[in-house]
Each structure stands twice: as structure tokens, then as C-alpha cells.
Amino acid sequence: MHLSEAIGSRLQEERKRCSMTQNDLAEALGIAKRTQANYESGSSDATASYLSRVATEFGFDVPYILTGVRTTLAENSLADVEDDLVKQYRSIPDDDQKAVRRILKAMADDAVRAKN
């Protein structure tokens, strides 16, 4: 798969994550459906202004689209309680974060053992 195709595939993934069709997104952005389809197929490269708009207006993870590595959590990907936990985790010192990770790993390991 060529880079443009990989970028297009991730762009399509982000669009679907937002429960939008190609036509929905094209209409919202004021572009032709064919342009959106070309971006997603990799036959045309998405412009910087397009990527900026989908990021700001729809929460697309542009670094992920370009690199394949998620740098942030997708918008609305967490339940409110999960979002609160992430915010609390980020607010505590590094040593406490390490302790939380050790506790969670131990609990997850116990859950796996209980299933087997």
C-alpha cells in the first residue's frame, strides 16, 4: 500500500468513526463528493486546509491520519467516567501514575487468570 492510500484509508476510518458518509462530510465541508472519495482512495492528497478543517470541525486525529500513530484519544471515544479517570490520572505526580499502572496491571493479570 502506498503512502497516499494509507493516508486515505485512515481518513476514511476517521470519517466512519464520526458516523459520516462521504457525502455527509463533503457537504459539510463544501467540497465535491468526488474530491472526498479521491482523498480516501489516495488518488488525490488531502490539502492542509482540508486537514485543518476536519480536525477543528469534526475532531479528526490528523497526526494519526498522516502517520498511523494516535497522538490523542479520539473525541467522544471515552465514557464520561473514563474521561474523568484519565484527567485525574494526568493530574497526579509521575510516581503515583506508575503506582496506578502497577495496580491496574496486577488487577488485569488477576482477571485473565480468573478466566482461565
Taking CA 27 as the corner, what is the angle to CA 24 and CA 30, rounded to the nearest 5 degrees?
Answer: 150
Question: Taking 80 as the threshold, does the pLDDT of residue 98 lie above it?
Answer: yes
For the chain, which residues make up each domain, given as ranges?
3-67, 80-115
- pLDDT in the model for residue 54: 95
Homologous superfamily of domain range 3-67: lambda repressor-like DNA-binding domains (1.10.260.40)
Determine contact, residues 10/65, Cβ cutoff 8 Å: yes
SS3 state of residue 106: helix
CA distances (Å), origin 88, targets 38, 84, 92: 42, 6, 7
- pLDDT in the model for residue 80: 80
Q: Whole-prediction pTM value?
A: 0.61
